[in-house]
Chains A and B, each alone.
Chain A
């Protein structure tokens, strides 16, 4: 049970463009979804938490206008990196939590490279 998918798995985009990453819960309804970022040889850092139908809550230091999060349904959340720059190149991982037992299930991650 509890499968979370992400699409795409890898993406390369040019500086200044925007890129959207999808996170889907395949076999459960995710009331809460989380977005993490992981730079090489570093640990996961939580970027934001989103509840279905509500605005996302961003962690300190994460620009909400740059990282747009939409959680419009119980099975889908999207992260859009706007006006991407090379320093946004990273591994983006989502996780999803159901109403109960509220544990987080992680997606496989998306490798973003901005050239």
Chain B
């Protein structure tokens, strides 16, 4: 899996958009960008993933640059419950028979949403 680089921490005001950057300059053509988050003392939670097009779901939006070397996770209206460590992971999609099930977690970004 390609390595990713994320800032160790970020702050955001409640109700504002939180924009979390991730650099993945060595990403391969068949690797997707995945985002997970981990609220303190809980298991990770899947947020979103994408290949090259921007993606949006009920939790967040994912913006991937045209060269795919970086991406931004956007939480449009951050709440206090969004305070968590956010992990950006690049990987090929898992498939049967492959060795690509593994998720390699980096250090992530601690997002603190302030009232």
Is there contact, CB below 8 Å, between A46 and B44?
A: no
- Give B residues with C-beta under 8 Å from A: 38, 41-46, 87, 93-96, 101-108
For the complex of A and B, list the 9 residue pairs with the smallest distance between their C-beta atoms, beginning with the closest.
A106-B43, A102-B94, A44-B105, A43-B105, A106-B44, A93-B43, A109-B43, A108-B43, A107-B43
Most chain A Cβ neighbours within 10 Å, of B93, B94, B95, B107: B94
Cβ-closest chain A residue relative to B108: A43
Tell me how many residue pairs across A and B have CB atoms closer than 8 Å.
Answer: 53
Range class of the A interface residue count = 20 to 34
Is there contact, CB below 8 Å, between A105 and B46?
A: yes
Q: A43-B108, A46-B102 are in contact. List 9 more A-B contacts (CB 8 A).
A: A4-B43, A43-B106, A45-B105, A46-B104, A97-B101, A103-B46, A104-B46, A107-B43, A109-B41
18 A-B residue pairings within 8 Å (CB atoms) = A34-B103, A43-B87, A43-B108, A44-B38, A44-B44, A44-B105, A46-B102, A46-B103, A91-B41, A93-B43, A95-B43, A95-B44, A101-B94, A102-B101, A103-B46, A103-B94, A105-B46, A106-B43
Inter-chain contacts of B87 with A (CB < 8 A): 43
B30 to A: closest C-beta gap in Å: 15
Partner among B41, B45, B101, B104 whose Cβ is within 8 Å of the Cβ of A106: B45
Cβ-closest chain B residue relative to A110: B43
- In the docked arrangement, what's the CA distance between A104 and B45, Å? 10
Interface mask (A43-54 → B, CB under 8 Å = 1, otherwise 0)? 111100100000
